[in-house]
Chains A and B, each alone.
Chain A
Amino acid sequence: MAAIDDRSAAPEIESIDPNAVKKELLSKYPTKVARKRAKQIIINKVGDDCAAPEIGANSRAIPGIITQRGCSYAGCKGVVLGPTRDFVNLTHGPIGCGFYSWLTRRNQTRPPTLEDPNFMPYCFSTDLQDEDIVFGGEKKLRAAIQEAYDIFRPKAISVFSTCPVGLIGDDVHSVAKEMKEKLGINVFGFSCEGYKGVSQSAGHHIANNGIFKHVVGLDDTQKEGKYKINLLGEYNIGGDGFEIDRVLEKCGITTVSTFSGNSTYDQFANAHTADLNTIMCHRSINYVAEMMEKKFGIPWIKVNFTGAGSAAKSLRKIAKYFDDPELIATVEKVIAEEMVEVEKVQAEVRQRCEGKLAMLFVGGSRAHHYQDLFAEMGMKTISAGYEFAHRDDYEGRRVLPDIKVDADSRNIEELHIDPDPDRYRPRKSAEQIEELAAKGFSFKDYEGMMPDMSDGTLVIDDISQYETERMLEIYKPAIFCAGIKEKYAVQKKGIPMKQLHSYDSGGPYAGFKGAVNFYREIDRMVNCKVWSFLKAPWQTNPELAATYACE
């Protein structure tokens, strides 16, 4: 047993100087690269006013340095619009891009009946060939749209452009417009060529713009419900959205639309009838919230349903917004009910997990959100970073005015939005807003990840493979969270690795049941005896150390 347990021989973290670590991480880079990375590797220090040090986020990846990042097509088609089940997502391009984004994110969806359309298991592509590249792909695109219509009769068809499309000059928007008129269904295109922007983040923005321009506001039907919200930036990976829906329903809160887990075209069309926008993943979806506020007068707040405590906090915040004693009482009752099981399991896993170290390098919000879950288990996040986030996701929206717009971001369209002449209806009057503010309620309130992290922790943007390896060797964390691309490299080093993109095969982790699920799973992972077999012989038997001189 002793031999097994001593894998946790992680160094005393107090004895590690983060400055030395940073230096070490940079030491092997050529000067130019080191200079750039130095701005992206930050030792956290939160000031009295909650200000965090500046981080160099959302800048181009360095050629040849292997990054976790994807492209804007991946952000647009793969992330934001992939999870909508009832319109046909047609990839315009050669076969690979579409193939790789074919149901690979474990988004779940639940059509009401088996007869209802669900195109998520499909991968539609124009599969461009030589001659299309030479003579242009518009003709093929037109025919492909017609074909998708003839066979599937979808409510809408959306077209996603991959790199070559922009270069050969295909105008997907005019083809879409033409086909929309011809077929009488909504057809719209996205110029989300992979070379736009520095990561999938550009694609999120493009997706937000497109869905807002072409779909949101098309259907004014008022849904039943006293407290109507939209849930933005929740993609229903591993069934997270189902758990959140369960909790909201139990509280009597109606979700008009989710962007975009388990979503449908009609939900988007109707989203502007909600009275509050709640944002889970700030990075991927804040644009839609901003636009809905300008055009329809719906305010937005940041929520987080990852972590039982955070879920409770978010529910209370929503209740406070609607300012209705009945809702407030229901929410408290629901929280009390749900927390019984949560607290029981928390206490149980804390016995085995307390004090262990975690590292999280994922996404544009999860590296932040999941720290709450780890904290609830008594685990400490020693280092974290995002893959494709911007400075506001790290340092909070307070820095928005200072963010320099570089050439890559300038190329992404900013829609100019005016209030809708008929449908603009501020959900809260100026006095109400003031009143809420006086009670400590704030809108558009994302404080970012860094102010929530301890001083001396390392915040690393767009961590490279090499840095990952060094961090593991230096800190020997009990668990490392990232995606499938990092999984096996990390595990080969004998360190448990949890995927926070696709959740391995697990989930849900959101809400209360999700939290319990997560505690149990992480407890099993970090305390599993299988890791003891990964020791090199000289680790289990120090006398051998001399003979194996290769550690």
Chain B
Amino acid sequence: MERSNYVSTTNACKLCKPLGACLAFKGIEGAVPMLHGSQGCATYMRRYIISHFREPMDIASSSLGEKHAVYGGGPNLKQGLRNIMTKYGARLIGVATTCLTETIGDDVPMIVKEFKKEMGESGLHDLPALVTVSTPSYSGTHMEGFHAAVRAVVEQVSSNEDSAHILNLLPGFLSPEDLRYLKEITDDFWYPSVILPDFSMTLDGPALTDCEKIPGGGTPIEDIRRMGGATATFEFGSTLADFNSAGKFLRDRFGVPLHQMGIPIGLRETDVFFDALERLSGTACPEKYVLEKGRLIDSYVDAHKYLFGKRAVVYGEEDLVVGLTSFLSEVGITPVLCATGGKSGHFKTAIERVTEGIAPPAAGPEGSSAVQPPAVYEGMDFQQIEELALQLSPDLLIGHSKGYPLSKKLGIPLIRVGFPIHDRFGAQRILHVGYRGTQSLLDLIVNSILEAHQDDSPVGYAYM
């Protein structure tokens, strides 16, 4: 199955780099993300993030105008930093660049260095941590922005002054519910962990947070400092091979052993995560998870009759698609198209790794007897996804909200996962990972298929 190539991008399947960086910064205690550029980007990204999480999201901006675009944005950046410090009491300010400041070539690390010096001279030593990251959107997607920001944080904050009995867990871009569950798991292994970033509170906070007794959430900066002395780093992501990730930095600079693994979705990828935890902690997997796993396998078997041979189109961020594809293959669903807007160069191999020897072969389009491997493409937009999907007669779509028009056109269910979800409620509480997350995805998928089946039938079956 060949895709067509286009010059322009129609209905993109990716977002821009600084958005990912802002999300990562938001998962740090007391942090205020800031964009160096004109204010429009910050406003757009706030709006986008807020309507997904249904939570406040501050992103400050250095508010550059035409004049600054010509003469450089240094003074505005410094003024902005000063105002954030005094107004928001930030403990960390994460400065990401935008296309504007990248294009004019502002040297942000340099400006921030100057700023620190000026503040020191004016007697102000108690500065928040200042982290800078370069995020030009004309290369890469929001995911590269996310990972780059996480790396920038450890690069600029961590040290190995004390070695500590802790696990660095770098989960990538998951939901707040996922992060809470990961914390629960590491806690149940009695193994102290630093999850970076952790926006489980900051992007899914309880009401009444004005009460100062309730901590605001986010990875504590003290914990980030200690990451250089940790026992090990677990970093989720199957397509990070060429990426200068935070995990690699911690390994290369401080010698923290790095275990990169896929996002734990589905049985096999979750097993990898739990096995690694067992080995690291020397503790057997707590019974709670053994039971979760048992129930999951039981439901795989029960669901089999509804799912086997169903055809799915999976799209979105590379690593999320890899995890989902792995899981779908396990339950007998054929991933006929795996598509991403990213371009890591490792997407195809990662998909092959998780489908090899397990994914049911896809029968060709109706009427043909040819067997086809799943179509796997990077750098896709929804125009291309649609063109292929129309030939592949899928039974369901799995991905974020932007696939809705396609699901409507094809008359098949869309299983909403990941980001952005702007047409359903509770996106921040979708659980994707671990045995439990897989379980809830499985139930969702089976029920969507049953529902479609039920709706299609003229008989009012209430027993299926």
Contact = CB atoms under 8 A, between A and B. Distances in A.
A67 B405 contact: no
A94 B138 contact: yes
A163 B14 contact: no
B100 A127 contact: no
B41 A488 contact: no
B50 A143 contact: no
Contacts of B38: 71, 163, 194-195
Contacts of A492: 56, 205, 207-210
A517 interface: no
Nearest to A408: B65
A163 B69 contact: yes
Contacts of A197: 65
A190 to B, nearest CB: 14
Interface string B200-241: 000001011111110000000000000000000000000000
B140 to A, nearest CB: 9
A96 B44 contact: yes
Contact of A64 (B34, B50, B98): B34
Given A67-B39, A94-B99, A147-B8, A100 B44 contact: yes
Nearest to B40: A71
A164 B58 contact: no
B83 A70 contact: no
Nearest to B43: A70
B393 interface: no
Contacts of A101: 44
A548 B211 contact: yes
B180 interface: no
Contact of A95 (B12, B43, B60, B213): B12
B16 interface: yes
B454 interface: no
B87 A28 contact: yes
B103 interface: yes
A33 B83 contact: yes
A121 interface: yes
A483 B102 CA distance: 30
A534 interface: yes
A125 B87 CA distance: 37
Contacts of B43: 67-71, 74, 485
Contacts of A93: 99
Interface string A537-551: 000000000001011
A258 to B, nearest CB: 25
B27 interface: no
B80 A64 contact: yes
B66 A195 contact: yes
Contacts of B65: 60, 195-198, 408
Interface string A181-194: 00000000000001
Given A69-B39, A70-B39, A64 B99 contact: no
Interface in A403-431: 407-408, 411
A195 to B, nearest CB: 4
A260 interface: no
A73 B14 CA distance: 20
Contact of A488 (B8, B50, B86, B102): B50
A97 B98 CA distance: 11
Interface in B82-100: 82-84, 86-88, 98-100
A148 interface: yes
B325 interface: no
A143 B9 CA distance: 12
A67 B63 contact: yes
A465 B58 contact: yes
Interface string A136-151: 0000100110111000
B39 A96 contact: no
Contacts of A493: 210
Nearest to A538: B211
Interface residues of B, number: 75
Contacts of B99: 93-94, 96, 133, 162-164
Interface residues of A, number: 82
A13 B217 CA distance: 36
B193 interface: no
A94 to B, nearest CB: 4
Given A64-B81, A94-B138, A164-B99, A122 B10 contact: yes
B45 interface: yes
A87 to B, nearest CB: 15
Given A71-B39, A74-B43, A100-B44, A123 B10 contact: yes
A521 interface: no
Interface in B10-53: 10-12, 14-19, 34, 37-48, 50-51
Contacts of A30: 82-83, 86
A97 B103 contact: no
Contacts of B455: none
B61 interface: yes
B137 A63 contact: no
Contacts of B100: 163-164, 167, 194-195
B138 A133 contact: yes
A94 B87 contact: no
B463 interface: no
A64 B6 CA distance: 39
A125 B12 contact: yes
Contacts of B139: 129-130
B14 A72 contact: no
A487 interface: yes
A129 B144 CA distance: 14
A164 B88 CA distance: 30
Contacts of A194: 38-41, 100
B103 A167 contact: yes
B56 to A, nearest CB: 4
B77 interface: yes
A126 interface: yes
A508 B47 CA distance: 22
A127 B34 CA distance: 23
Given A94-B138, A485-B50, A489-B56, A125 B103 contact: no
13 contacts: A63-B63, A64-B84, A64-B87, A66-B59, A94-B16, A98-B9, A100-B47, A101-B44, A130-B139, A144-B8, A200-B40, A488-B56, A489-B56
Given A95-B12, A488-B54, A550-B211, 18 more contacts: A60-B63, A60-B65, A66-B60, A95-B141, A96-B19, A99-B16, A122-B10, A123-B11, A125-B12, A126-B7, A147-B6, A164-B99, A164-B138, A195-B38, A196-B65, A491-B207, A492-B56, A551-B211
Top 10 closest A-B pairs, CB basis? A71-B40, A96-B16, A64-B83, A64-B80, A63-B80, A100-B44, A127-B9, A144-B8, A489-B56, A194-B40
